[in-house]
Structure 1
Amino acid sequence: MGGTLNTTPELLKEGAALLKEELLLGTEALRAAQALRQALQDTAAGRGTGAALSALEAVLGRLREFHRRLDGFLARAGAERLTAFFAAQPPSSLRTGALALLPRTASQQHALRRELQSAQALLEQGKAFVDFHVNIMNQTVASDTYTKPGDEAPELLRGRKMFDANV
C-alpha cells in the first residue's frame, strides 16, 4: 500500500466523506456497545441483552463493510492510513477539518474498545456466576429426609444428589 500518494480534489472529497461516515458509524457503535453493557449490568436474567446485542452486531457489520471500502480507498490513494493521506494533502480547509477530526475518531475507537472489554468482563462474570451455581447443584448431596417416591429406606439415598430429577 505504500506507493506514491495520489492527490486529486475528488480523492480528497472521498476521503473526507469516508472520515465523516467513520465518525457516524463509530458513534452508533459506541452507543450500541454502551446499551449492551448497560443491559448486562442491569439485568441478571439477561432481559434486553438480545436486542442490545442484535443492534451492536448490525452496526459492527456496517463498520466491517465500511472498512472494506476504506481499505480500497487507501489502496487507490497509496496511503497506509487516513491520517497519512490527509497529512500529505496540500493545505485546504477540507484537509484542516479532516486533520482536526482524526483524533476524535481515534478517541471514539478507544472508547468503543473499552466498552466492548467491559461487556466481555460482565459476560465472563455472569458465566462464572452460573458455573458456580451449577457446580453447587451438581455437588450438593441430598439429606436422609429426601426419599424417592415409593422408597421406604432413606439410607439408600445417601450419595444421591439433592437436585437430581427424581429426588
Structure 2
Amino acid sequence: MANNQSQAPWPLKARAISESTDHGIRAVRAHDLAGFAEALEQLAIHPEAREVHAHMVRELIETRYQDGVTGDDVADVLSRTVGDSGAWHAPVDPSAVVVVLTGSLGVAERSDDDGPPATIPPAELNGAAILVIAHLAADAAIDHQQYLVRAIEEIRRAQTVEMP
C-alpha cells in the first residue's frame, strides 16, 4: 500500500507495518490462510504495529457505532469476528479479540489478586486485530486504507509533537 502523495514519505518501518497490515486485511477478506499467516509473520517483527491497529480499531468502532458503542455492540463484534474466522479456519483466540477490543477502547485489563494477567502472544494479538479491523470495515462497507493511513499519520504526529 502506498501512502498518499500529499504526505511526507513514511519511514521504512511505517511502510512495512502499513503494507503488512493491508496485506493481512485483504487476506482475511479473501479467506486466504497463507496470505494471513504471511502478513502476521511480517507484523511479528514490528511491535509498533499494535499501536497502529489500536488506532484503526478505535476509529472503525467510532465510525460503525456513531451513536456510541455499548457492551452489546462489543460482544457482537467479538462473536461475529470469532464466528466468521472459524468459518474459514483462521486461527483466532477469543481472548485476544477481547484484549484488542478493550485495549483500543482504553479499557484496562485488571488482574486477579491471585496472580498476574495471562499473557497473549503478540502474534495472536496481531491476528485478532487484523480480523477485527477486517470485520468492522466490511460490516460498515468502507475501505480500510484511509483508516490505516490516518493511524500511521496520527502516531507519527504524536511522536513529533514537543512536550513542554
Scaled to the shorter chain, the TM-score interval is under 0.3
Q: In terms of Rg, which structure is larger?
A: 1
TM-score between both structures, scaled by the size of structure 2: 0.27
Instruction: Select the structure that is richer in helix.
Output: 1
**More contact order relative to length (CA 8 Å, sep ≥ 6):** 2
